[in-house]
Structure 1
Amino acid sequence: MAVRQIRFEGDPVLLETAAPVEAFDASLATLVRDMFETMYDAPGRGLAAPQVGVSRRVFVVDTTWKEADPAPMIFVNPQITAHAEEEALGTEACLSIPDQSFDVSRPVWVALKWQDLDGAWHEGRFTDVDAVCICHEFDHLEGLLITQTGTLQ
C-alpha cells in the first residue's frame, strides 16, 4: 500500500467527470488499497479517485473509524438511484480544500447501486453521515467541488 498525493483545488482532474471503471483487476484493487491508506493518513472519512489524480468512478468511505471500529466501504461505478426530498444542512470539509469548512445541504438519505472490486452489483440505502459522505464523494466523480455546492463557513 502507498499513500498517494492528494490533489488540491485548482487541479483540472478535480473538475472532470470521471470515466467508468471497466477493468476489475489488480490495478483497481491497488488503487483502492492506496486510497484507503491515503484517506486514513489525511485523515478523512471519504476519498474519491480523482482526489488522487485518477479520473475513474470509484470512491471509498469509512465514517466510523475515528470514533469506533473501522467500517470501510468501496463504491465502484456508483449510481444514485433515489434520494430523500428532505434535506439537512451540515458543515463539511474536503481533503482537496484543506483548512476550510462549508455549509452544504444534502438529502437525509440516499439509495445507491454500485459494484465491488469483483464487479458484482450491490444496492443499499444510506442515512446520516454515510449519506452525506457518499453524496460528497459522488460529487467528486461528477467533477463538482464543495465550493460549487456549499457556502464557505
Structure 2
Amino acid sequence: MEQVRCPPFGCSPRDTIMNNMSYPAPRNSKAYIKVCRQNALHRQGGLCHYCDTPLTSETVTADHKHPRAKGGRHTSMNIAAACSDCNNAKGNMTEGQFFKAVKKPPSATTPFPIMLAWMRRKLNTQTKRSSRRLDKQFNPSVRRSSDVP
C-alpha cells in the first residue's frame, strides 16, 4: 500500500510532488495521480487552469497540459487542475491550442463545449474584476497584494 500524503493548504506552492510523498509511488498509481491533482489545485489557488472556475478537492480533475496521446509525460509539472467541463472540452488539444480556442470570441463553427468554456472564462474574469473594484470603492483601507507597487 502506497503511503502518499497531500500537502496542507498552508504550504508553499513551490513544494513538489516528491517533497510530499512518504516514499515514491509508481507514476501510474491512483495515489500518485491524486497527489499530482491536489498539488496542481494548490499551485493554481483553487481555480480551474482554463476558465478560472473555483474548484474543490471533489470537483478537480487532472488534465495533462501536453496530452499523453501526443507524447506528453505523466509528471506533476505536466498536470493542471481543471474542471471536468474544460478537461472534456480540451480533449486531445495541447494547452496552447485550447487557450487559443478559449480566449478568442466564439464563431458559428466553434464547438459548443469550447463556447461554454469561453463563456465561463469571460464570466469569471469579469466577476473578479468587479469584485476588486467594489473592494477598492467600499474598503479603501484594505490593500490587496496585487495593489502594492
Indicate the TM-score class for this superposition, using the shorter chain for normalisation. Answer: under 0.3
TM-score if structure 1 supplies the norm length? Answer: 0.27
- RCO comparison, higher one (Cα < 8 Å, 6+): 1
TM-score if structure 2 supplies the norm length? Answer: 0.27
More helix by share: 2
More strand by share: 1
